[in-house]
Structures are given as structure tokens and as C-alpha cells.
Structure 1
């Protein structure tokens, strides 16, 4: 009887030396397994926050405008009847058109602490990319550079904010075992809202251009036009950044619909020079704070809790995920004046809503000018994410 019970256990959970089978998301139930798998790895991590399953399903649905220019495939790794990991591979045709470097992406990587699991998952993703002409793989991207990206390598002792990733500490080592090496470092900065301060030289710079810069919030009436302007500014401002892929009109329209649900108009501040929008900043309430105890589910009563927490109680933390200054001003004195003026403008609505601290993320480690601004106003780097690359 004991021997039969042990056999049943290993049939279900898989022996450590059992073969690993990596299966694409084709069979019934595979997609649910793929989405639910992180819960298996993070249930003992007090800092992990399970994303809303509805949001994850929408992100991966065919209705996501991202898939107008990006192809992807997902897999789950199995040992016996036990799922032990997952991964995706992506080819972004806009990236190829812009950079022409035959680079594919991997993403949404989760797995047990086992070299064989990481080897099976990464090899499967690499083969899929190689068959489609990729000569290099980079990631993690979930699913593009304009979504959640980078692997957390420092800052495991506090929860992630909205649309920023979490990870187990062993992930970096396991990836590096498979031949992946760091290509870019991304930093997240933490800024207590009330501690924002400007140096005398910063104040003089803002005062010098005060007459030329007009900052205003977005509004219900101007929202659609403002979203179009923000897309143009972002695509111009970030165009020289590493790995840049522009937002399409459809993608930014979808982003605008989502922002309208959760973000007050005064948390979108736009700077104009000579009546032309040239820079912007967006602050979000930290939705992760509001969903922390929902277990990824909105039904039956989770949606009521979320609505109350976002409309009545409001999160105490936030995130600044989007900021841009038109490229023609970036290397002039007006560029930092615009950035500082926008940061000053967003402080009041952030504090009025009771947001006590914000994460500013992500910032490339080698973006010295932006890091200098943030560190001089009192922000501190507290998390580090890493992007990896491997030749195929």
C-alpha cells in the first residue's frame, strides 16, 4: 500500500529525474495552467502580488493591438503531471523594421530552482526563434519593451508596483547558466512625495524658462487629443533609446482607455512651449496595492473591493511610468527645465490624493542625465532589473 501511494505521488508530481516535457499552449486547460503557474512558485513569498487573471488574459488575447506587429508562442514545462515552469518567445516586426538586427525576445519566465527546467524552457524558446530567422534572443519582455520588462536582480525585499516584475533570487543564476549575459541594467527609484526638493540651481533653471513653459493637466474634453500628443512626444523622445519600439496608434489608444479607468486627469501633466505640447508626465495609483489580497480574482466580490480602494480609500503609493521631453529640447537647457517643471507640477495632485510615495521606473542605468535629476531631487534607486541577451 505504501509503495503504491509513493508511485501515485511521483506520477502526479514527477520524480526529480523524470523527463521534462515542454508543451505549447494548445491543449484545453494549458492556458489556465500557464497563467496560474506563478502562484506555485511565490505562495511562500510575502512580497509577491498575484496579478489579476482577467488583466493577464486580456493582455494575451488576440484583441491586444500589440499582436498586430508581434508574433508569440507560450509553453509550459511538465515533469510527470506537474507543471514546473513556463516561458514565451516573441518576434516584434516593428523592432525588426527599426533595428534590423534579427533579435527575438523571451518573456514571462517562471520555473522551479532546477537547471534542467531552465534549460528545457530556454532551449524551446530559442528553437522557435531560430526557426523564424532570429540570430539573437533578448529579455525578459512581457511581451514587448513597452510592457513589463527586465528580470529583478536586486530589491526582493519589497513588493513590486503596478506593471513591474518580481522574481525569485535564483532566476538570474539559472539564466546565466544557460549562456545568457547582461546587456542592460534598469533601475527603479523611490521618492517620498513630501520629500521632493529642488536645488537652488534647479530652481533658477525653472525660473529662467517659466515664461516659455506652460503646464496643464489633461481633461475629459481634451483627453483624446492629449493621448495623440503624448504618443507623438513619447515616440520622438524615446526614439534613440536602446531597443526602442514605437507605440502604434492602436496601442496608445488602448493605453488611453486603460488610463481613463484608473487615472485622474490631473495625474497627466502636459508641458507646452509656444502653445505646442512638447513634454509630459503620467502618475498612476499603485493598483498592486489595491489587489494584493484578491488572489488574482475579481469575482465574486473582488471588483467591489478594487473599485472602493481606487475611488474612495485610494492607494498610498504610486508609480510614474511615462515621461518624455521632445528630442529637439533634450540637449538644450530647456530640456531639463521641462523635466523639472513637470516633476514639480505632478507633486501637488499626487499629494492631494494621499499618495505618500512614488516609484519612478524604469530608468536605464546609463541614462546619466535623468538619474542625476532624480537623485538631486531626493529619489533613491531601490530595485534593479536586468535585461539579458544570447547569440543563437
Structure 2
């Protein structure tokens, strides 16, 4: 009574994308992405697929959709890391080990056919997007682009023989009217060294995000799971962020007019998405316009400082300016996420501003050869 079907047309793709709406129907914490946007995201319109390929599978139990999974061969990852790792992601499933194992098997076989030896995930679709299963912190909803799932997803993964490979942390802090003295003192030191900050111009967001690309591709290249971002991916990202970005929360740090740091926070649009249930109708558009004005929280989404400028106050000056903007806009909370469990410099920075770890995301892997 269990059947796995590959997504081969638009009808199945819509079923694949819509499946979580049924699984989380009674869960008030779940925020569905817009169905239309997600369907486009999983097609060649997404520049991710210029450097990767994927298969999508739906599980049916007793004729009803019971789960889904994506299996991804990421050529950009393989070129950079040369580690024979393939990925699973977009995993959703009823609490049924048989269904989960069948889905994992489909992903494993696809990766094996592509001569890969390790299956890692979840990645939706790469480390530049949503990563991990929520492992700790189920008592509050997840912010924008942070995974949300039932606790049993971790049990299903471990029952399939997967082991933890990396934890990702999320930290939360009340937006302070006044930052700690240390932050302000270090920010002033950075200013004396010629570090300047500016906010971005939304009308030129693509070009502005090229500064982030330059900083990110230099600052993160030694980090676990890093994959360089391309200009096409930045253009695609800009189109997605432009409707929700606020200039005062996106800060570029410069020295002699060259970008050395980037801080990009966005409002937690999940506060709106939880009310839209994945669909834009005339009524839901009115809802979205109304509730976006009531968003209380922001999430630090883009962050990096070039290696030669770390520990020189660049981080502090960007935080100072962004938090000033957050106060002006009336935001109450800020999430720093996600942060690798062994990225001690950034973790220490969150401690200085008084943030507390409140969620953990877990990435798993197992050998499949």
C-alpha cells in the first residue's frame, strides 16, 4: 500500500509543494512559503540548477500523499570540496518509519547512480538556503527561512542510520534601545581606522548585493559547507528580498570605498506567511499588507567580514547601525541565525549583545556506497 512517485510534471510538482499544508494543517507555528513562488524555485528559473540537478519524490500510503523528499547533486559543492557528497532535502513525512525509509532510499539510489558516496541533509537546496532539521526550540515558531518540523523528523533520520555531522545555532535578543558600551566603543575605534558604513538603495539592490557576494565569497570560503555564490544567484536573491527588505537594516561597511563587511537583516515575514496558508488571493493580499506593518522581529540573514578586517570593529559598527535602524522601525526582537556550532567568533559576538541560543538545527549524513 506504499508507493513512491517521481515528480515529472507541473501537477505532481504542485502536489509536492503543497503537501506540507496538509501535514501542518493544525500546527499554528508552521509558515508555508507561497505555493507559486516555491514551484518556480524548484524549476530551471532558479539559477541554482545551472550548477546542480535534482529529483523530487512523493510517497503515497493507501493512496494519500504521506511524504516527500528531494535528492540533489550539487556540482558547485563537488567542485569546491571534492568529497563525493550528495544531498537530500525538502523532506516532509508522516510519523511512519516505513514511509521515511522509502523516501530516503529513493534519494540514496539517485545519489548512488551519480557515483556519490555520502548522503547529507536536509539541504533546501544548499547551504545558501534552509539547512537542517529543527532539533531544539520547538516552543516558538521559526523565523523566515529557518526550518520548522516536528521532533520526530530527527528520530526518522537516526532510525535510517544517519548521524549528526553539524549543528547550526539560532540566537535571539531583544532589540535594545541602547547597545552595550563595548559595542559602541569598538565601533568608534573602527571609525577612527577609516571604516565607514552606509545603507543600501533598494532600487539598486542587485548591485548592492554584489558587495555581499564579494565579502561572502572571501570571508566564508574556509567555513564548513561553503559554496561560492554567483552573480546570477545574487540577482535571483535580490528579486526575492526586494519586497521585504528595509534599507536601514542592510549595512555595507567600507574602507576606502571598498566593501569589507556586510550585515543584512530582514523582517520576519513568517509572521505574515502563517496567515496566508501558502496562497495569494485578493483577501490574502489585503491581509499581507495589513500584517506586514505589525511584524515584530527581524532575522540577521546575511553577515560577513573579510578576513583582514576581522576583530577591528567592523562587526560592531555594522551591528550598531543596524540596531539603530531596528529601533527606528519599532522592531522588538532580532535573531542571529544560522551560525555554525564551531563559529566561535560570531557566537561570541552574539553574547556581547546579550543574545541567547534558543534553537538548534541539525544536519545529518550517512555513507551510502
The two structures have a TM-score, normalised by structure 2, of 0.95
Contact 1:285-1:314 within 8 A present in 2 as well:
no
Shift of 1:300: 3.1
Aligned partners of 2:176 and 2:184: how far apart in 1? 17
CA distance in 2: counterparts of 1:91 and 1:301, whole angstroms: 40
* Structure 2 residues not aligned, in runs of 5+: none
**Residue equivalent to 2:341:** 365
Q: Which of the residues 103, 114, 118 maps onto 2:100?
A: 118
Equivalent residue in structure 1 for 2:187, among 173, 187, 206: 206
Task: Tell me the equivalent position of 1:158.
Answer: 140
Quick check: 181-190 or 292-301, which moved more? Answer: 292-301
Pairwise mapping of residues 1-392 of structure 1 onto structure 2 (< 5 A)?
Answer: 18=1, 20-26=2-8, 29-194=11-176, 197-200=179-182, 202-211=183-192, 212-220=194-202, 223-310=205-292, 313-330=293-310, 333-334=311-312, 337-392=313-368
| Structure 1: gaps spanning 5 or more residues | 1-17
Q: CA RMSD in A?
A: 1.6
Q: Deviations over 1:240-295 (max 9, x none)?
A: 11010011110001112222222122221111112211101011011111122111
Cα separation, partners in 2 of 1:162 and 1:276, compared to 1, 3 Å: same
Q: How far apart are residue 236 of structure 1 and its match?
A: 0.9
Deviation of 1:96 (Å): 0.7
**SS of corresponding position for 1:210:** helix
Once residues 168 and 196 of structure 1 are traced to their aligned partners in structure 2, the CA distance between those partners, rounded to angstroms, is 37
How far residue 205 of structure 1 moved from its aligned partner, in angstroms, is: 2.8
| Larger Rg belongs to | 1
Structure 1 residue 305, shift from structure 2 partner: 2.3
SS at match of 1:255: helix
Aligned length: 367
Judge conservation of contact 1:106–1:141 (CA < 8 Å) in 2. yes
Q: Secondary structure at the match of 2:168?
A: strand
CA gap 1:343/1:135 in 2 versus in 1, 3 angstroms: same
Q: TM-score, normalised by structure 1?
A: 0.90
Distance (Å, rounded) in 2 between the aligned partners of 1:249 and 1:371 = 29
Distance 1:308 1:246 in 2: 37
* Inter-CA distance 267–28: structure 2 relative to 1 (3 Å threshold): closer
